[in-house]
Chain A
Amino acid sequence: AQSVSQHNHHVILSEAASLELGCNYSYGGTVNLFWYVQYPGQHLQLLLKYFSGDPLVKGIKGFEAEFIKSKFSFNLRKPSVQWSDTAEYFCAVTPSSGSARQLTFGSGTQLTVLP
């Protein structure tokens, strides 16, 4: 079974600061990787995903993530955060093959951006 670890539970940044949220996964096979964001009172929204190819993935709202296979990591980055980025961020993984490709989520990182 797969598992996901997000090291930072709560991150507080000032506007314009750079962001990096850590995500490590554990699984014996190949995986698909995702970052979801949950704004207060809203549903989970997909930020970006990695299936194969270029390990540097660009998503919406200026976010990007880099898949480092040797480190089992998929860290999320943004060069300059905005107050509107305040939200909870979840890293998730699914097996890349098989019939039951359920998402396994990390425990989430709450990002607070101070104006």
Chain B
Amino acid sequence: ETGVTQSPTHLIKTRGQQVTLRCSSQSGHNTVSWYQQALGQGPQFIFQYYREEENGRGNFPPRFSGLQFPNYSSELNVNALELDDSALYLCASSLGGIGGYTFGSGTRLTVV
């Protein structure tokens, strides 16, 4: 079985720009979650998608948005980037949110 793959692995953006991060879920998984992991901290939940609909959101502003596609791959979009958005962004997939989550290696975003 394939794991969770994320692209790109590293990205540098300028404050105010927009960014799109991508995630391919593990085969058979229909739920995808996105997390932000700042340096020295645990991952923080951004939002979750189940069958192409958002079904949970953490304490992140609306400029963080997402999509899940029919093949269960997913995107995280961040508008109007701020310096504090610099972090490792993790994607995790699961089967209905049950049984544990499989994480990708993440995208390291640096905002300058």
In order of increasing CB-CB distance, the 4 nearest A-B pairs are A100-B56, A105-B42, A101-B97, A44-B103
Q: Return the contact of B97 from the options A4, A42, A45, A100 (Cβ within 8 A).
A: A100
**Residue among A92, A101, A107 with max Cβ neighbours from chain B (10 Å):** A101
Determine the distance from Cα of A44 to Cα of B91 in the docked complex, in whole angstroms: 10
Chain B residues positioned under 8 Å from A108 (CB to CB) = 40-42
Q: Which of A65-105 contact B (CB under 8 A)?
A: 90, 92, 94, 99-105
B27 located at the interface, meaning its Cβ lies under 8 Å from any Cβ of chain A in the complex: no
**Given the interface contacts A90-B42, A90-B43, A94-B97, does A103 sit within 8 Å of B56 by beta carbon?**
no
A-B residue pair count with CB separations less than 8 angstroms: 58
Determine the distance from Cα of A6 to Cα of B35 in the docked complex, in whole angstroms: 19
9 examples of A-B residue contacts, CB within 8 angstroms: A4-B42, A36-B103, A43-B90, A44-B43, A45-B103, A90-B42, A101-B98, A103-B33, A105-B42
Bits for B48-72, please: 1 = Cβ < 8 Å to A, else 0.
Answer: 1010000110100000000000000
Determine the distance from Cα of A52 to Cα of B49 in the docked complex, in whole angstroms: 25
| Nearest CB on B from A78, distance (A) | 20
Determine the distance from Cα of A49 to Cα of B102 in the docked complex, in whole angstroms: 13
Is A34 touching B58 in the complex (CB atoms < 8 A)? Answer: no
